[in-house]
Amino acid sequence: MTYSIASLVAGALTGHRHWKPAWRKPAPKPAYDIVVVGGGGHGLATAYHLAATFGIRNVAVVEKGWIGSGNAGRNTTIIRSNYLLPGNVPFYELSMKLWERQEADLNFNTMVSQRGVLNLYHSDSQRDAYARRGNSMRLHGIDAELLTREEVMARHPYLDYDNARFPIRGGLLQRRGGTARHDGVVWGYARAADRLGVDIIENAEVTGFLREGGRIVGVETSRGAIRAGKVGMAVAGNTSRVATLAGLRLPIESHVLQAFVSEGLKPTVDGVITFGAGHFYVSQSDKGGLVFGGDIDGYNSYAQRGNLPVIRDVCEGGMAVMPMIGRARILRHWGGIMDMSMDGSPIIDRTPIDGLYLNAGWCYGGFKATPASGMTFAHLLARDEPHPDAALLTLDRFRTGAVVDEKGMGAQPNLH
């Protein structure tokens, strides 16, 4: 069923009994051309692009839980392409362009809302750094505007401009940035991939790899063995665990990132605002809740729950930049597991093992990357060569020294 105004009206007139499951629940076939491990946004986007862009439809996605149960349902939904480095800028802009046509591509309302992403600055040096970032973006044809304090005031009058320690001097605005509905994104990709013949196999945890000679030729799962011409891993958070099954050690640590939602409020915060002095970012969901977060907890964790010091730190950041947030109650908060790479940038590459491909290390910026991650990983799987926009996101960059260190922090994951 293709969704449209006509189908909605027709369905409404017949009591909404026309809704069907958005994707099939197939049993795994014995073999596929390509098996993608991980049914999150990135894995599903990869499968979708394999079928839609590269014409490879004999594809399965194996997911240990159900679609939407992992980090896809645990993020703060921000989309943007305000990056600095050559390895990142074209990649995230590809993603932004794919977000802009996503609803038409997928025939699904993913609620892409380009309401602007504003990074505040508080000092001369920070202004210079943001000016440089904005220039880098504009050189790549990406929109960026350096706003003065007065221009920020006109957009967001409720911020604390005269904070004694962190007065707001202005901000870097990307108007094309914004938010999208995280659940809608995975459902949309799942449905679109399924319609192109991709088998989405839920509740199938990968427990090992099938090998012939030195080559990986499939996966062992809790629903049986599945052979594959190629296996692509997109299992953020569990990357090290799955890689260990293949005998692979990676430049990755798993850390927990917490996020928060307030009670529902009337429209208050227009756009996404980030506090440049601490680590705090906030937007308002379409349901009215303020969605906000800050740093990762900063130590290795698979617990999917956080600790109080970071909650306190995030709330302090919020109070410093937006004192009115103290009047809102936090409704809920949660923790997701990030695979933090050693330079803070992702890895989309072949592995040293024939037949096994890696999509990992998204740190806590994976959501905005979903469409381009799928497109470029599908390109790598289909053609065995990197997509030009992801060519620098290699696994061996750590060995060669060509790291993509966006924050200039060095080789420690909890600094990124």
By the rule CB under 8 A, 123 interacts with another protein = no
As a whole number of angstroms, the distance between CA 238 and CA 38 comes to 10
The answer to whether residue 309 forms part of the interface with another protein (CB under 8 A) is yes
- Region of 111-119, 133-141, 306-314, 346-354 interacting with another protein (CB under 8 A): 306-314
Distance from C-alpha of 261 to C-alpha of 267, rounded to nearest angstrom: 15
Q: Stretches 18-26, 177-185, 195-203, 297-305: which one binds another protein (CB under 8 A)?
A: 297-305
Please say which residue, 137 or 250, places its beta carbon nearer to another protein. Answer: 250
> Which residues pair with residue 340 across a beta bridge?
253
Among 77, 221, 240, 262, binds another protein (CB under 8 A): 240
Interaction between residue 179 and another protein (CB under 8 A): no
What secondary structure letter does DSSP report for 16? T
HSE toward the beta carbon, residue 327, CA cutoff 13 A: 6
Q: Which residues pair with 245 in a beta bridge?
A: none
Amino acid, res. 282: V
DSSP readout, 19-80? ---SS--PPPPSEEEEEEE--SHHHHHHHHHHHHTT----EEEE-SS-TTSSGGGSS--EE-
- By CB under 8 A, residue 207 contacts another protein: no
Could you say whether residue 316 binds another protein (CB under 8 A)? no
Output DSSP code: residue 112: -
User: Of the two residues 41 and 306, which places its CB atom closer to another protein in the complex?
Assistant: 306
Count of other CB atoms within 10 angstroms of residue 8 = 12
Interface with another protein by CB under 8 A: which range of 115-123, 156-164, 385-393, 408-416?
408-416
- What's the min distance (Å) between Cβ of 184 and another protein? 30
Contact status: 252 vs another protein (CB under 8 A): yes
Phi, psi of 234 (to 5 degrees): -140, 75
201 near 62, Cβ under 8 Å? yes
If the CB atoms of residues 342 and 381 are measured against another protein, the closer one turns out to be 342
Q: Counting contacts by CB under 8 A, is residue 231 touching another protein?
A: no
Nearer to another protein, 62 or 337 (CB): 337
What is the spatial distance between Cα 393 and Cα 344, in angstroms, rounded to a whole number? Answer: 11
Window of 58-66, 124-132, 218-226, 302-310 that interacts with another protein by CB under 8 A: 302-310
Residue 58 or 307: the one with the smaller Cβ distance to another protein is: 307
The residues binding another protein (CB under 8 A) are 240-241, 244, 249-254, 298-303, 307, 309, 312, 342, 398-399, 411-414
